[in-house]
Each structure stands twice: as C-alpha cells, then as structure tokens.
C-alpha cells in the first residue's frame, strides 16, 4: 500500500501467533524495503521473533524501532486529539519521508482496557489526516471465536478503520460500504 493513496488507518485480522508473525513481518519488511521508517508494538514474547524474522540487512538499523502504543493512548486520554496529532507529527518528523507503524491491539487492550483502545481508534482517522504515517492495527480473532461477547467490541473497533488488509490486498472499508 502506498501512502499516496490517502489511507492511513488500516486493520488486519489474524488467528494466533504464527499467523500474526507472517502478516506482521511481511508488512514491516515491505516498509523497510520501500525506505520507510517502521515502528512496531507487539507482545514482549513476539518482539524478538519479529526482529529475527526481519530481513537481516534491517535488523539492527535505525529504520526499525519498537515503540509503545500506550504513550499515544495516554496522550489522547489526558490531553485530547490535538495533543495526539502533535505527537504523531513528532513521530513522523526526521529523515524518513514515510512512516509505517504496526500495533498488536490485544497487547494494548491487556494493558489499558478495551474502552481506552476504542477511544483512540475513534479519533485515529482524523489524527492521521495529512500525515505521512500508515498505521496497521492487528486484531487477534482467537478470543472472539472463543468468547462471543467480544464480537460487538471487535465490530465497533474495526468500523473505525479506512481499510482492511486481507491476503495482501487493501479493501477500502469507507468507500465500498463493506460491512465488517
């Protein structure tokens, strides 16, 4: 996906850690190969696996960095959308003209709860407008399959995204009227 297409807030579904790793590494490698700065936020036990699976030439470069989504959630919850936009501008400043970021949503939910994550998701499209950032939020459907009460939350969270990354293709959720 090209940042020139205007889609900045994308979601993806995965089932289990192996599926997550395949999708995450592909997404991050694509950004690295295109010369983008890439950030990622994943469970601690996956952090090293992601780094090991990244193309060797990028594994120790300043082009890839582990970050905390919690900083963004905290900034938004304490100071509002304008402060979030300023923080995103800070992330996107520097020598890289394009930035991509991957977030494992289940990690943030465990740390701050569903409401805080959903609150951030609801303003992310506006906050990313006019930026050079592409944000991929990855949702594990394992818990939804096993616990039907999470389905409405997942549906609401996914409805906040512009596109769904599915099988390497980006499906425009806002223009096509696709129901998630």
Confidence band of 175 (pLDDT split at 50, 70, 90): low
In a 10 Å sphere around its CB, with 0-12 CB exposed, 13-18 middle and 19+ buried, how is residue 139 labelled?
A: buried
Say how far apart CA 59 and CA 81 lie, in whole Å: 33
Residues shown for the chain: 180
Confidence band of 7 (pLDDT split at 50, 70, 90): low
Expressed in angstroms, the distance from the first to the final Cα of the chain is: 20
Closest CA to 161 of 132, 129, 140, 136: 136
Query: Which pLDDT tens digit goes with each residue over 149-167?
Result: 778 878 887 788 888 888 7
Provide the CB-side half-sphere exposure for 74 (13 A, CA).
5
**Which residue ranges make up each domain of the chain?**
3-176
Cα–Cα distances (Å) from 69 to 36, 66, 75, 87, 156, in that order, read: 19, 10, 10, 12, 19
**At 5, is the secondary structure helix, strand, or coil?**
helix
Query: Which pLDDT tens digit goes with each residue over 54-87?
Result: 988 787 788 998 887 678 888 888 998 899 888 8
Say how far apart CA 20 and CA 26 lie, in whole Å: 10
Query: Which pLDDT tens digit goes with each residue over 34-52?
Result: 999 999 999 999 999 999 9
Does the pLDDT of residue 177 top 70, yes or no?
no
Give the distance between the most distant pair of CA atoms in the chain. 45
Query: Which pLDDT tens digit goes with each residue over 124-146?
Result: 888 888 888 999 999 998 877 77
Per CATH, the homologous superfamily of domain 3-176 is P-loop containing nucleotide triphosphate hydrolases (3.40.50.300)
Query: Which pLDDT tens digit goes with each residue over 15-26?
Result: 999 999 999 999
Cβ-based neighbour number of residue 105 at 10 Å: 21
């Amino acid at each position: 996906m090209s940042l020139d297409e205007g889609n900045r807030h994308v979601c993806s579904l995965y089932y289990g850690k192996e599926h997550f790793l395949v999708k995450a590494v592909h997404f991050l490698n694509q950004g690295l190969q295109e010369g983008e700065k890439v950030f990622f936020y994943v469970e601690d036990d996956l952090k090293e696996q992601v780094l090991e699976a990244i193309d060797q030439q990028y594994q120790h470069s300043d082009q890839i960095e582990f970050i905390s989504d919690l900083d963004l959630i905290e900034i938004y919850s304490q100071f509002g959308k304008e402060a979030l936009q300023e923080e995103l501008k800070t992330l996107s400043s520097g020598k890289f003209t394009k930035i991509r970021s991957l977030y494992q949503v289940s990690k943030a939910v465990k740390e701050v709860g569903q409401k805080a994550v959903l609150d951030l998701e609801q303003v992310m499209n506006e906050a990313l407008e006019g930026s050079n950032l592409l944000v991929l939020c990855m949702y594990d459907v394992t818990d939804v399959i096993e616990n039907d009460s999470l389905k409405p939350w997942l549906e609401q969270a996914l409805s906040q995204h512009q596109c769904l990354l599915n099988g390497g293709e980006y499906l425009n959720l806002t223009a096509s009227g696709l129901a998630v």
